[in-house]
Structure 1
Amino acid sequence: MASSRDTLKSYREKRDPRCTPEPMGDGRQADRPRFVIQQHAASTLHYDLRLEVDGVLKSWAVPKGPSTDPRIKRLAVPTEDHPLAYADFEGVIPEGEYGAGTVLIWDRGHYRNLKEGDERSSVAEQLEDGHATVWLEGEKLRGGYALIRTDLAQGKDWLLVKMDDEGADARRNPTSTEPESVVTGRTLAEISREAGRDEA
């Protein structure tokens, strides 16, 4: 199994620590695996889902953000592994840098593996097989979610689907009704404005 330092090579090659406030250190593993969803106003607005797996944050860009409606399937495009320290990152990536734009911690918490005890049951093994199910315990999201690899784009794209459980709610649209950071209560516009004042 590759070390977290090996799997973070792509992350570090894309970023200049002298120019971006993004964390470069590995970060610490939690007692329970964490997840974070970051709203990211880059070239297009999207949400980054990150799951703590084997010492790194496995990451997907979800253009429309997570849904609480089991009937809705959200596209999830895998991105490079991120360091665990990224779970606490909220701020502005400067223009000209990879992923330039404002990042907000939209939701975070812990998750548990819904296939614990099954053959090839670890989340890492499930992701390798192309179908993982986890239970999120966040501040905005709660319940089971499935990540399913598709045949689209040579199997590189995934779908994020809410499972039909007590956390499902077809009437709720948290990405539009709950835009604030769960850490600071700020919006993307407020984070961007404050970063601009800090640079002045």
Structure 2
Amino acid sequence: MRLIDHRRKRRPSGDPRFVAERHRPASDHYYLRLDIDGVLVSWAIPDHSRIARRTEDLPLEAAERDVDGDAGTYVNATPYDMGECLERGHLSFFLCGEWLRGWYTLTRIRDGDHETWLLIRRKDDEDADTLRQPALTGRSLDDLS
């Protein structure tokens, strides 16, 4: 049994899924697909780019086929429903895959026929210590006491 099949088998059915798939014919872009409200919402992302173009949504069954890429689950990083975040144009999530693991943000920058989003990989917990420093002095609370 392949590792990806094993992970799908042990995954609780309630966890939302993601698929990151390399487009085979041209191999110059990837597809990122997130399970939102019962469909795989999809974006095409050119290789070495942060721009993501919204593409046609797929049924959830498409996540079960073999992919040339990564698949796993994701965690919503906001208190809002992912469908609502999609409508508002700002998604924040943590991908839990074999190769893709970390915090990401998708922000819509253009509406209409060529809906365009900006994909940003956020800093991980290793930078959380610097975020806890006071902005003006740079000293921690321990230094001030």
| TM norm structure 2 | 0.71
What secondary structure is seen at the aligned counterpart in 1 of 2:30?
A: strand
Contact 2:53 2:114 in 1 (8 A): no
Residues in 1 aligned to 2:94 and 2:65: alpha-carbon distance in whole angstroms? 23
The answer to whether 1:40 aligns with 2:23 is: yes
* Alpha-carbon offset, residue 45 of structure 1: 2.5
CA deviations on 1:81-108 (whole Å, 9 max, x unpaired) are 1011111223xxxxxxxxxxxxx33111
The answer to whether 1:108 aligns with 2:84 is: no
* Alpha-carbon offset, residue 153 of structure 1: 7.2
Find the counterpart in structure 1 of residue 94 from structure 2: 135
The structure whose residues are more often strand, as a share, is 2
**Superposition RMSD on alpha carbons, in Å?**
2.4
Find the counterpart in structure 2 of residue 3 from structure 1: none
| TM norm structure 1 | 0.52
C-alpha distance 87-54 of structure 1, shift in aligned 2 (>3 A): same
Find the counterpart in structure 2 of residue 85 from structure 1: 61
* Alpha-carbon offset, residue 43 of structure 1: 4.2
The answer to whether 1:49 aligns with 2:12 is: no
Provide structure 2 residue ranges, at least 5 long, that are not aligned to the other structure.
Answer: 1-11, 128-145
Q: Which has the higher contact order (CA 8 A, sep 6+)?
A: 1
* Alpha-carbon offset, residue 39 of structure 1: 0.7
Residues paired across the two proteins, number: 116
Find the counterpart in structure 1 of residue 83 from structure 2: 124
Contact 1:144 1:167 in 2 (8 A): no
Find the counterpart in structure 2 of residue 20 from structure 1: none
Residues in 1 aligned to 2:126 and 2:106: alpha-carbon distance in whole angstroms? 16
Find the counterpart in structure 2 of residue 150 from structure 1: 109
What secondary structure is seen at the aligned counterpart in 2 of 1:140?
A: coil
CA deviations on 1:20-51 (whole Å, 9 max, x unpaired) are xxxxxxxxx93200001011123452111000
Contact 2:54 2:114 in 1 (8 A): no
Taking only the aligned residue pairs, the percentage that are identical comes to 41
Q: Give the number of the structure whose alpha-carbon radius of gyration is greater.
A: 2
